Amino acid sequence: MLRTMRANAKWIFYILAVAFVLWLAIGQVMSILGPSGNVVLRVNRKEYPVTEYQQRVQVASEQYHQQYGTAPTTKEEDRQLQDQVINQMVQDALLEQEYNRLGIRVSDDEIIAMAHNSPLPDIMRDPQFQTDGQFDIRKWQQFLSTTSDRNLLLQLEAIYRQQIPRLKLFEYLASDVYIPDAKLWRLYKDQHDSVRVAAIAVSPYAIIDTTPIGDAELQAYVAKHPDDFKRPAVASVRWIAIPRLPNAEDSAAARAHVARVRSELARGAKFEDVAKRESSDSGSGQRGGDLGWIKKSDSTFVAPFMQAVRNLKPGQLSGPVQSQFGYHLIRIDQAKGDSVKVRHILIPVPLLAAHLDQVETRVDTLERLAAERSDPTTLDEVGRRMGLLLSPEYKVVEGQGFRLGDYRIPDVSVWAFETPVGETSPVIEGDAAYYVFRLDSVTTAGTPPLALIRARVSDLVRVEKLKTLARRRADSLAALLKGVPDLASAAAARGIPVQRLGPFTRMRPPRDLSGEPIAVGTAFGLRVGERSAVVEGENGYFILESLGRRLADSTAWLAQKEVQRTQLRQALQQARIQQYLDGVRAKAKVVDRRKDLFKSQASADASTLLQ
């Protein structure tokens, strides 16, 4: 065998050499035609290897953990975090390419000057660089001139080397933004000029029309307005579930726990320290239970929580407040008008060992019999065997979180659009139960068939017809009242509905003209006593007559002109920068290979396991 191998060695060498050359050639071709195998993202000519992407995701996950006290726990949270990483990589690449295109560079002298004269926010908050509670730049500059901490200096250099080109680009884009006095005066007038008008409004929605509408009209309307009917993908799912709600013993144990925590607070323990240790609200818990300022009328919090907040006084500690999330201990730190600064500690109601074992045993059975099966009848059969009811059909919208009542169910809105129709999900853990879903159907994104949107299209076509009738009625009223002075009196004498509106400004029109910029503009364009022609608005037709006008005070404007200019200039600069970045992004060729790359990787891993 060795002899044969030695005899064939020359030919093997030639074959390997040719294969190597071919491999190099193919690699070069592939690098021209498309991203190479380990490239996860390409932005124009900039390529990011998968290793850099994974490192960035790891850093983002660590930052997420520091902020919320836990790692992302659902597919939706993972997807959102990964998308944020990709968006940041795209922006980094585009900015770097713009720096090169515009010749933006950073010198060592610029970095040194920036470090000395523009310290970072974290440095300005550091007590060692403060005097009487205020940042003292002399202390910072003294520190820079004497420190031997090379790692710190390298970190500062890296930060400023990244920041300075961005500042130069933004200055290049927005340094010439200037608002002349004429524009400032015009904006001030929009806020302070006021008018009074008489108005006749003809609404299409007050007209009755029963003319039938045919399919041809509906199809023509859809063809003319295709973007109005585009929908995201929608999946239809059903599920069976094993409840994980607490029983009486679980609740009693949680009440005892919250009583001990409240007793500790009552004895003088620091609320912030107890919250960090005890609260299951990972976001506020890491901040010592701080929820910030909230209005007493806020509806984003559950009703029992807000009812307790409204009844508390500053410094007062609530008794245990029960919600679907557990028991809350609430304290109001400050109050200003209708707003209060709130802290809370959330004590959950976990299942005790015996109850938990019972639930998890059934969940194991559910997973073994029903999870990740391709036969759609499996879910019905397992539901019957385990005494679990099959739910009605529910709709899942791609890109939107899925909820059942007050509870958000993680992962469903991702899983439903990555799995074949008829397949069941893994066991999905929700707050109230463990679920196995089945995907019954998927409606792809785009314009649905007419049969599915007929009612909506019919309503829109009907409105178009009613607008035509309303225009005719408005024209006839204008002709009837032409040449008759005093629109309000003339219309009232003929039984025509008329309103007197104002005084109002351009920026604060009355409710009857809200959302009607053309009608408002017409009102300010009329001379006192002048009447308009028929004005076509967003939701109807108007005939307007000016009853009076009050002009803005130019002296008051001059007194605040420079403050107004500064505020507006900053807003316009930000808008220009964002518009520029959006334009660069729109023109860029971005290839995101995550889906293909990781799908191939998963397939390779599965093949390895099967071997």
Separation between Cα atoms, residue 579 and residue 573, nearest integer Å: 10
Average the pLDDT over 242-251 and give the result: 90
pLDDT tens digit sequence for 58-103: 998 888 877 777 777 778 888 889 999 999 999 999 999 999 999 9
Q: What angle do CA 101, 103, 109 make, to 5 degrees?
A: 150
pLDDT at position 489 = 95
pLDDT at 73: 73
Q: Looking at residue 33, what is its pLDDT?
A: 38
- What's the pLDDT band for 12 if we cut at 50, 70, 90? very low
pLDDT value of residue 164: 92
Please determine, for residue 344, whether its predicted confidence score (pLDDT) is greater than 80: yes
Place of tokens 């008051």: 556
Architecture of the domain delimited by 194-209+452-550: Roll (3.10)
pLDDT at 27: 39
Residues 197-209: tens digit of each pLDDT: 999 999 999 998 8
564 neighbors 191 (Cβ within 8 angstroms) = no
Q: In this predicted model, what pLDDT tens digit does every residue of 380-436 receive, in sequence order?
A: 999 999 999 999 999 999 988 899 887 889 999 999 999 999 999 999 998 889 999
Phi, psi of 373 (to 5 degrees): -110, 145
| Crossing angle for the helix pair 181-192 and 554-587, to the nearest 10 degrees | 110
Q: How far apart are CA 251 and CA 326, in angstroms?
A: 9
Quickly state the pLDDT bin for 599 (edges 50, 70, 90): low
The pLDDT, as a whole number, for residue 452 is 86
pLDDT (0 to 100) of residue 34: 44
Three-state SS at 541: strand
- pLDDT > 90 in the chain, percent: 64
- The per-residue pLDDT for range 103-142, each reduced to its tens digit, is 999 999 999 999 999 999 888 988 899 998 889 999 999 9
Q: Where are the domains of the chain?
A: 1-33, 108-174, 194-209+452-550, 234-242+354-443, 248-347
248-347 shares the fold of 194-209+452-550:
yes
Peptide bond into 165 cis (omega under 30): no
Write down the pLDDT at residue 16: 36
362-386 burial: b if 16+ Cβ within 10 Å, else e:
bbeebeebbbebeeeebbeebbeee
| pLDDT tens figures, 437-470 | 999 999 888 888 899 899 999 999 999 999 999 9
| Side chain identity, residue 554 | S
User: pLDDT tens digits for 583-593?
Assistant: 999 999 999 99
Interatomic CA distance for residues 421 and 411, integer angstroms? 17
Give 248-347's CATH code, choosing from 3.40.50.300, 3.10.50.40, 1.10.540.10, 3.20.20.70.
Answer: 3.10.50.40
pTM metric for this prediction = 0.52
Integer Cα distance of 63 and 377 in angstroms? 44
Closest CA to 289 of 52, 513, 609, 69: 69
